[in-house]
Structure 1
Amino acid sequence: MNADEYQHLAMRTLAAGLSPQERLTNAALGLNGEAGEFADTVKKHLFHGHPLDREALMKELGDVLWYVALACDTLDISLGAVMAANIEKLRRRYPEGFSSERSQQRSE
């Protein structure tokens, strides 16, 4: 499955009748909440002695992705375009791959 196909299919599960402002707010709050659930699962592994629950982390990443797709759809941007723009930004920032020195000296 490619990113744009995912975005299209994911939006089939969006509640109807939300305004663009409500959709964007839902995306922002949902991203925050789901990222928090991902972080909580990692915290439990690192600090509470739980085994690393890869299945739970994958589900939370899927939920994060759904809210990213919602934000993209609301802004009329394809998820594929966001991914491509991010890779281009990373290529400009780290043309030879990541380095701490380049990270500390970057201007953008």
Structure 2
Amino acid sequence: MNADEYQQLALRTLAAGLSRQERLTNAALGLTGEAGEVADTVKKHLFHGHPLDREALMKELGDVLWYAALACDALDTSLSTVMAANIEKLRRRYPEGFSSERSQQRNE
């Protein structure tokens, strides 16, 4: 499955009738909540002695993707467009791949 196909299928589960502003707000708040759940799962593994729950992490990452798809929809763009722009930004920032030195000298 490619990113745009995912976006199209994921948005089938979006409640009808939400304005662009409501979709964007829902996406921003949802991304924050789901990223927190990812972090909490990792925290429990690292600091509470729980085994790493890969299945839970995969489900939460799926929820992150759903909200990213919603944000893209609210911005009238596609996941693939955002993904391509991000890769281009990373290529400009780290043309030879990541380096600590280049990161510390970044001027943005």
Shared fold per TM-score greater than 0.5: yes
Identity of aligned residues (%): 90
Matches within 5 A, 1:29-48: 29-48=29-48
Q: What pairs up with 1:45-84 in 2 under 5 angstroms? A: 45-84=45-84
CA RMSD between the two structures: 0.5
User: 5+ residue gaps in structure 2?
Assistant: none
Give the count of matched residue pairs.
Answer: 108
1:18 is aligned to 18
Q: CA deviation at 1:19?
A: 1.1
The 2-side partners of 1:77 and 1:36 are apart by 25
Give 1:49's aligned amino acid.
G
CA distance in 2, matches of 1:18, 1:76: 14
Query: Deviation digits for residues 8-52 of structure 1, max 9, x if unmatched?
Result: 110000000111111111000000000000000000000000000
Alignment TM-score, normalising by the size of structure 1 = 0.98
Residue ranges of structure 1 left out of the alignment (5+ in a row):
none
Alpha-carbon distance in structure 1 between the residues aligned to 2:24 and 2:74: 6
Aligned to 1:27: 27
